[in-house]
Amino acid sequence: MSKAELISWEPATGAELWRGRHGDVDDIVDRARRAWPAWAAQPLANRMELVRRFANEVRKESENLATLIARETGKPLWEARTEVESVVNKVEISIRAYAERTSQRRLDNALQGTAALRHKPHGVMAVLGPYNFPAHLPNGHIVPALIAGNAIVFKPSEKTPATAELLVRCFHQAGIPAPVVQLLIGGPDEGRALVSHDGIDGVLFTGSAHTGIAINRTLAARPDKIVALEMGGNNPLVVWDTPLIADAAALIVQSAFTSAGQRCTAARRLIVRDTMAEPIIAEVKRLADRIIYGAPFDDPAPFMGPVIDNLAADSLTESFLYLLSHGGRVIKHLIRPNEELPFLSPAIIDVTDVAERPDIELFGPLLQIVRVSDFDEAIAEANNTRFGLSASLVGGSPADYNRFWANVRAGVINWNRPTNGASSSAPFGGVGLSGNHRPSAYYAADYCAYPVASNEMEQPRAMIGVGLRAE
């Protein structure tokens, strides 16, 4: 593989943050394969103790890690700190999940022996992480996989290698052998080589649908490899009858603009009853106008930072202009105060009259509004997507929510809560282009080990009672 350098840039300043050499895929995978048997042979209690030590190492490094995340992603420091808390909390959640989802079971029968259910690790797992939560989301794969007894090759986004380097250092400082958790620095070429490598037993991916589909296509003829894909969404938020306009607007703004809209669960489409549209839209705009967007360490603290880089900012600007030129009506303009940096204001556009609305994940602070006249139309519009990650209903009655829950296709369905901010104590995943039915978070244990069913007796005992000639 190429030994060129990879450079990470701070989105908020454009300054160089980190640089390092591209890794050698063959060498890293080979080291992981040699290290895996000894790691898998350790008692489960030992592996659990080591990941608990990892949590303590992250606690020690918490402010350094939060500062690094904020600098490398551009997210506000307060949000980076919540990400570090999620990294720590993931350990105990994963230990509980392993015990519940992949525990050992035995059923004794005096004549038939013992029926046993146990689980084995897959081997060497490739973890491909995203840039929006560069510590928390890959950690959500790594910790359950380590508990189960797998070795890890972690390839972070090429946009956030510095955060990944510090995260991996915490694993090593905790006493987990360096070959068991390895960092692969690189870009798309290294990612493709890792996914297709014969020494990899599974791929755990969080990122865009485009990349996830490419991974799925690469491994289509390899059913022996476990593949867990957590991709994005074109997520709907439906607002129905409610007198609480200000509360509804706050939920909409949280859903659409937290993390500068760079969450896979962010609300992309606000579907609103036409009789409520004017007061709801006015209140959402009023609140969005007050949003402070700025650099991670600004005072007062911003609600959101920049998007990840200038390429992302350019793409979102082009998408906004496309919607505008095809019948969209601007509620709040997308403003880019400095063409040299990827800061974008929250933007809102009414696309009700856009004949063919693109079914894509616009990964940024751009909210599209669709007005509907009845609840069936709202549900149909919510399902008017190939994705199916998250959806929320704000307002409505319990009966409305029951209909919404029963008919909307998504893996996360909320009522009077934002579309984002899913709990790590529940499964997390979607349908359609949002995932391949292997939810992460609490259910990550399911794809980190495979079940082995056994029938066992201490002594052989058998006879054939039919179909034999007499002696």
Q: Tens digits of per-residue pLDDT, 291-322?
A: 999 999 999 999 999 999 999 999 999 999 99
Q: Which of 230, 283, 361, 381 is catalytic?
A: 230
Q: At what angle do helices 44-60 and 62-73 cross, to 10 degrees?
A: 70
Active site residue 230: yes
Residue 139 forms part of a structural domain: yes
Model confidence at 290: pLDDT above 90 = yes
Residue 55 forms part of a structural domain: yes
Give the residue-averaged pLDDT of 394-411.
98
Helix (H, G, I), strand (E, B) or coil at 348: strand
Model confidence at 1: pLDDT above 70 = no
User: What is the domain count for the chain?
Assistant: 2
Alpha-carbon torsion (452, 457, 459, 462), positive or negative: negative
Q: 192: which 2 tokens?
A: 């493709």
61/30 Cα distance (integer angstroms): 30
Residue 2 is predicted with a pLDDT of 44
Residue 422 forms part of a structural domain: no
222 and 78 in a common domain: yes
For residue 391, count CB atoms less than 10 angstroms from its CB and return exposed for 0-12, middle for 13-18, buried for 19 or more.
Answer: buried
Q: Tens digits of per-residue pLDDT, 30-82?
A: 999 999 999 999 999 999 999 999 999 999 999 999 999 999 999 999 999 99
Q: Tens digits of per-residue pLDDT, 166-211?
A: 999 999 999 999 999 999 999 999 999 999 999 999 999 999 999 9
Helix (H, G, I), strand (E, B) or coil at 452: strand
| Phi, psi for 429 (deg, rounded to 5) | 180, 175
162 and 65 in a common domain: yes
Give the residue-averaged pLDDT of 448-465.
91
294 and 205 in a common domain: no
Model confidence at 3: pLDDT above 90 = no
167/134 Cα distance (integer angstroms): 9
362 and 443 in a common domain: no
CA-wise closest residue to 274 among 374, 353, 354: 374
Q: 391: which 2 tokens?
A: 């959806």
Residue 470 forms part of a structural domain: no
139 and 33 in a common domain: yes
CA-wise closest residue to 426 among 439, 417, 415: 439
217/332 Cα distance (integer angstroms): 40
Q: Tens digits of per-residue pLDDT, 57-70?
A: 999 999 999 999 99
Residue 365 forms part of a structural domain: yes
96, 443 contact by CB (below 8 A): no
Residue 103 is predicted with a pLDDT of 84
| Phi, psi for 466 (deg, rounded to 5) | -150, 150
The conformational region for residue 67 under phi > 0 = left, psi -120 to 50 = alpha, else beta, is alpha
449 and 327 in a common domain: no
Residue 218 is predicted with a pLDDT of 97
pLDDT band at 114 (very low <50, low <70, confident <90, very high): confident
Active site residue 283: no
144/127 Cα distance (integer angstroms): 12
Hey, how many other C-beta atoms are within 10 angstroms of the C-beta on 327? 14
Q: To the nearest 10°, the Cα dihedral for 11, 13, 17, 23? A: 30
CA-wise closest residue to 164 among 147, 143, 146, 185: 185
First to last CA, the chain: 69
List residues bridging with 270 in a β-sheet: 237, 369
* Residue 55: CATH number of its domain: 3.40.605.10
List residues bridging with 119 in a β-sheet: 451
**What is the residue-averaged pLDDT of the chain?**
96
246 and 220 in a common domain: no
Beta-sheet strands, E only, within 231-353: 235-239, 267-273, 329-332, 347-350
Residue ranges making up the domain that contains 295: 235-415
Residue 426 forms part of a structural domain: no
CA-wise closest residue to 314 among 349, 295, 340, 348: 340
Give the residue-averaged pLDDT of 129-157.
98
Residue 465 forms part of a structural domain: no
H-helix segments, 102-208 = 136-148, 161-173, 188-195
389, 233 contact by CB (below 8 A): yes
For the entire predicted model, the pTM comes to 0.96
Q: Which of 264, 361, 381, 448 is catalytic?
A: 264
**Amino acid, single-letter form, for residue 466:** V
- Whole-angstrom CA distances from 286 to 167, 217, 260, 345, 371 are 39, 45, 17, 13, 19
218, 252 contact by CB (below 8 A): no
374 and 342 in a common domain: yes
Helix (H, G, I), strand (E, B) or coil at 107: strand
Residue 421 forms part of a structural domain: no
Give the residue-averaged pLDDT of 275-282.
97
389 and 322 in a common domain: yes
What is the C-alpha R_g of the chain?
Answer: 24
Give the residue-averaged pLDDT of 216-243.
97
155 and 221 in a common domain: yes
Q: 337: which 2 tokens?
A: 């105060």
384/362 Cα distance (integer angstroms): 15
* Residue 345: CATH number of its domain: 3.40.309.10
- DSSP H or E segment with residue 280: helix 277-289
381 and 449 in a common domain: no
Model confidence at 280: pLDDT above 60 = yes
202 and 156 in a common domain: yes
Residue 142 is predicted with a pLDDT of 98
